[in-house]
Amino acid sequence: MSEKFVKVPGLVEEETMGVLREQIVLQAKDGDLIVECGVFLGSTVCYVGQALKKLGVKAKIYAIDNWLCANISDESKQFVNRSESFLEGFTLNVAKCGLTDMVTTLQMDSLTAVDYFENNSISFLFLDASHNYEDVKDELKAWLPKVKNGGIICGHDFSDPSVNRAVVEVLGNVNESSSKCAYWIENQCLKN
């Protein structure tokens, strides 16, 4: 991997990167399984992956996206070269960051990808796919059994009313970053 930390363009602000650092990077151990749903061009995957490599942690990251990018603005779609698909853009970014060996890519809907994982197998889950109330609720319910007891569930856009409502209904009281960009909770705190 190159010495330089590569910054990949994306839709996640510094505050959420800070949450990912505190809740995932600094807590991860060798062998941990990290799942990100809704990765777009890979800004958070590349941030977490490079930070882990720098610390010498040998974790595995699964990056899930259908790459339909239905909820991405035209402005943000310009982050990728015209000749590339979004998936190609993501794959190139992962390679540029020296993370091809660490990242497994699953191009599919989040709810389909759930079936690829054993119950109680994921140490860290980061959700930033659909922001539709029903979708977020379905996703959280489907992914929860896959997260280890004591594992961390985090997500983006807690300030979005649809995301907020779904998260509170499924997870109850969660921790939130100061401007509600991100939320997180330990799996053992969940409501039954």
Ligand X SMILES: C[S@@+](CC[C@H](N)C(=O)[O-])C[C@H]1O[C@@H](n2cnc3c(N)ncnc32)[C@H](O)[C@@H]1O
Binding of ligand X by 71 (CB under 6 A): yes
Binding of ligand X by 99 (CB under 6 A): no
Q: How far lies 149's CA from each of 17, 53, 124, 170, 189, in Å?
A: 24, 25, 11, 16, 9
- Counting residues that bind ligand X (by CB under 6 A) gives 23
Binding of ligand X by 128 (CB under 6 A): yes
Question: How far apart are the C-alpha atoms of 159 and 157, rounded to whole Å?
Answer: 5
Looking at the Cβ atoms of 1 and 111, the one nearer to ligand X is 111
**Residue with nearest beta carbon to ligand X:** 10
Sign of the C-alpha dihedral, residues 124, 9, 182, 27?
Answer: positive
Scanning residues 2 to 31, which ones bind ligand X (CB under 6 A)? 10-12
Binding of ligand X by 67 (CB under 6 A): yes
Binding of ligand X by 130 (CB under 6 A): yes
Query: Where are the strands (E) in the chain, listed by range?
Result: 33-37, 60-65, 103-107, 122-127, 147-156, 175-176, 182-186
Binding of ligand X by 44 (CB under 6 A): yes
Q: Which of 6, 69, 87, 190 binds ligand X (CB under 6 A)?
A: 69
Query: Radius of gyration over alpha carbons of the chain, in Å?
Result: 15
**Pure H helices in 26-85:** 43-55, 74-77
> Can you give the binding site for ligand X, defined by CB under 6 A?
10-12, 37-40, 43-44, 64-69, 71-72, 109-110, 128-130, 135
